Structure 1
Amino acid sequence: MGILYLVRHGQASLGAADYDQLSPVGERQCQALGAYWRSRGLRFDAVLSGGLRRHVQSLAGIAAGLSQPDLPAVQLRPGLNEYDSEALIRSVYSGDLARPVDAESARQHFRLLRAGLRAWMAGQSQPQGMASYAEFSAGVAAALAHVREQCEGHVLLVSSGGPISTAIGQLLQASSEAVIDLNLRIRNSAVTEFSFNPKRHAMLTFNVLPHLNSPDQAGMVTSA
């Protein structure tokens, strides 16, 4: 039996012109996670990642904190890439979009994102430039199958809230609404653990931040 550690990327740049870039806080979150694992003697036997910039940067931060000399080469899997939030919102809303730079505009952003996710997952919309949700889900399932069939020991997987919540939904046979709720609750650099064997995965933990649990790290807990 092995353990799969699914990590959501560190804090990116919500509200900036380019979201796909870790913030300084996001870099520190990922380095802290790697250092936490190093302090507990954890070593990885395989590493999988999405190919987005925030995934690659998060993995670099984790690796820097982990300091594992023989860390395996990263297996990039497109099926672990996130959906396009703006395309989802545009599929259900044609008005002006304010950048989510304050509390009210962030609430509006996530209300519209939830509506876009509902329509996409139900097959009621086709956001521009995106695959169907069935294809997106199949990419996640293929990554999980690869872990079951090709990996053993401790496996690190770095991705985003969409693929991770979809993976959980597949394990638990959860409703679309439940998967959306999971998606929007996964925190930056949070860890979800699955046990696995060649036949199946099982969930052990969800959305934990053991590397950010001291009082002086309270300001490093983020969700967007």
Structure 2
Amino acid sequence: MGNLYLIRHGQASFGADDYDVLSPVGVRQSQALGEHLAQLGLRLDRCVAGDLRRQQDTARLALQALHHGGSPVPAIETDAAFNEFDADGVIRTLLPGLMADEPNALDVLRDCANNRSEFQRLFAIMVQRWHRGEHALDGLESWAAFIRRVQGGLDRVLDGAGSGDNIAIFTSGGTIAALLHLITGVTPDQAFALNWQIINTSLTQVKFRGREVALASFNSQAHVQLLRTPSLVTYR
């Protein structure tokens, strides 16, 4: 059987003007991941990443560290199917309908860097309404369309995979939630409950044979836990 390693990107710049940039912590997390994979002696046959900057940079830094550790590394293939869902679009579209129940929501979102826990609570509500289709989406990618996009990316990877290949997929938390939904059959609510637990640069391992897939492990954090640096364990 082959292995897919679903890897969430390193910590991005939450609360900054451009979220899609790795923070210094995100850079170190990505390097630590590659160093750990080199210590394990893992040989990657392929590497696929979404086209978001944080996904590409995580892949690049991890592969650099893996190569420095003595392992050959593949080129990075890009497939936008593994991009995150449009979180900003979800907020813009669903925030007006949230205001009646959460009158302070706009203030929280304007200063999300200093209101992380409250932002997460509100964001989880909006994501739930999005994937349940409880509001008009006004051109926003729906949950069903997102699932079709991710399924297409997974099918392309599997169709191009060799027997026994080890393939890294650098992606995002919401995309991993969608893949968990597709692979295990958990509900969208359950998938996003798991999503909120996925740390930056964690590994989720999926075994495959042809197009048959099975979850082997979820949200492995060993590469940062072994460094005994709590600041490297981040969720956003």
TM-score interval, normalised by the smaller of the two chains: over 0.9
Show the counterpart of 1:107: 117
* 1:42-191 alignment, distance < 5 Å: 42-67=42-67, 70-94=72-96, 96=106, 97-102=109-114, 105-127=115-137, 130-152=140-162, 153-191=165-203
Normalised TM-score (structure 1)? 0.92
CA distance in 1, matches of 2:148, 2:159: 16
Alpha-carbon distance, 1:47 to partner: 0.9
CA distance in 1, matches of 2:30, 2:39: 14
How many residue pairs get aligned? The number is: 222
Verify the 8 A CA contact 1:100 1:109 in the aligned structure 2: yes
Runs of 4+ in 1 over 4 A off after TM superposition: 126-129
Q: Deviations over 1:133-181 (max 9, x none)?
A: 1111111111221232211310000000011111011111111211111
Show the counterpart of 1:22: 22
* 1:179-218 alignment, distance < 5 Å: 179-214=191-226, 216-218=228-230
CA distance in 2, matches of 1:101, 1:132: 27
CA distance in 2, matches of 1:75, 1:126: 35
CA distance in 1, matches of 2:197, 2:206: 18
Verify the 8 A CA contact 2:177 2:194 in the aligned structure 1: yes
Gaps of 5+ in 2: 100-105
Q: Name the % identity.
A: 32
Show the counterpart of 2:34: 34
Q: For the aligned residues, what is the CA RMSD?
A: 1.7
Which stretch has the larger CA shift, 63-72 or 44-53? 63-72
Alpha-carbon distance, 1:123 to partner: 2.2
CA distance in 1, matches of 2:120, 2:10: 18
Normalised TM-score (structure 2)? 0.88
Matching residue's letter, 1:4: L
Gaps of 5+ in 1: none
